[in-house]
Amino acid sequence: MRCARQVGSVVLTALALGCGGGDDGDDGGGGGGGGSGLTAVVDGDAWEAEPISISAVANAGVQGAIILAGIDNAGGVNRSITITLYNVRGPGTYALGTGSQVYGGHASTGEGTGGGDADLWATPNTGIAGTVVLTQVSGGRVKGTFEFTGEAGDDNVVLGEREVTNGEFDLELTGALTTLPANQGSKVSATINGRPYNAWSVNGLLTDYTGGAGFRFSSSTSVDALSIELEGITAPGTYAISDAVPLRVVIAGHNGGDADHCCWGLNAGGDVGTITVTSYTADRVQGTFSGTLQPHAGRPATTPLVITNGTFDVGIE
């Protein structure tokens, strides 16, 4: 699994070192009434990072990035939690199971001994594997809560999922959180045939079409893909879905080989719905969308795709 490989080196390094550069003990080590300041429940078992292992670092090389990590050692077994967030602008809710273009990040929990490789459970690229709620990112501290579900890594001895719940942190933040450019960070979410969708990756740009200047974005998770194209717009407004010039379409599909695999919208005929742009600048386009999309001819899907509660907040490349 790609996400597991992305974060595995961080966790394995942490397990091997068994120490970090975080809390120095001020204020009783953060929240929790004198505890370590980084706690959770992992598959029903209480977990509390040892103060010497904790790090909470604003990554100077990546704007808006924060990495939280810690290790609990009990009975010779190291159990770690690592959370990496991207595009942090301040307090708010950040999804887990997302990539570096999105407001959110990824997380993992690991387990191993000092003499062997660690098993790893990491958030998959679904965009809905968990959340981090930041309540403070100022004054040299980072504070909040978290929960996530991790999937077993390819090389795990122990398989299955790990549920991390009731996570809390109140820690000294090392380094300065850099201010994000106006066009950095995106979010696309919707309900697709009753299922929640929150994009793992998003790419947006302003462009020229045959029907005039416009805007488009593409987004995806490991499960679904969703994009919007709008020709001939340069300002906020509400636009009916249409595959005639000027083009105003929502396009969706599944990633994988299920029976409904690909594709809905754009030249399928009979698509209905609206796309509302609420803010349009050179740096960012925001809005909402909904609609019923027809399946493409010659594809396995035979029933329409219903999209509701769609929202986009897309930085322009």
Write the pLDDT tens digit of every residue in 235-262: 999 999 998 888 899 999 887 545 455 6
CA gap 92, 106 in Å, rounded:
16
Mean pLDDT of 70-82: 90
CB within 8 Å of 45: residues ≥ 6 apart = none
Same-domain pairing of 166 and 279: no
- 20 pLDDT band, cuts 50/70/90, is very low
Using an 8 Å Cβ cutoff, are 311 and 287 in contact? Answer: yes
Same-domain pairing of 115 and 192: no
* Domain limit, last residue, from 116, 146, 172: 172
Residue 298 pLDDT: 67
Same-domain pairing of 74 and 167: yes
Same-domain pairing of 142 and 201: no
Using an 8 Å Cβ cutoff, are 254 and 224 in contact? Answer: yes
pLDDT digits (tens, 9 = 90+) for 87-144: 999 999 999 999 999 999 999 999 987 656 688 999 999 999 999 999 999 989 999 9
Same-domain pairing of 9 and 124: yes
E strand or H helix at 230, and its extent?
strand 224-231
Nearest-5° Cα angle at 167, 163 to 170: 160
Structure token digits, residue 215: 């805007």
Range of the structural domain that residue 6 is part of: 2-172
Q: Residue holding tokens 């200047």? A: 213
- Provide the pairing of β-strand 161-172 with 195-198: unpaired
Residue 10 pLDDT: 38
**Phi, psi of 20, deg, nearest 5:** -155, 180
CA gap 197, 166 in Å, rounded:
24
Rounded to two decimals, the pTM is: 0.85
Does residue 303 sit within a domain?
Answer: yes
Mean pLDDT of 187-199: 96
Same-domain pairing of 18 and 155: yes
DSSP 137-164: EETTEEEEEEEEEEEEPTT-SS-SEEEE
Q: DSSP state, 305?
A: E
Least confident of 120-124, 178-182, 199-203: 178-182
pLDDT digits (tens, 9 = 90+) for 212-224: 689 999 999 999 9
Same-domain pairing of 10 and 159: yes
Closest among 233, 223, 285, 225 to 256, alpha carbons compared: 223
CA gap 4, 108 in Å, rounded:
8
Same-domain pairing of 141 and 199: no
Does residue 287 sit within a domain?
Answer: yes
Same-domain pairing of 207 and 290: yes
CB within 8 Å of 175: residues ≥ 6 apart = 57, 58, 59, 60
Same-domain pairing of 192 and 50: no
* Domain limit, last residue, from 143, 172, 201: 172
Q: DSSP state, 263?
A: -
- With 50 as the cut, is the pLDDT of residue 16 above it? no
Residue 19 pLDDT: 33
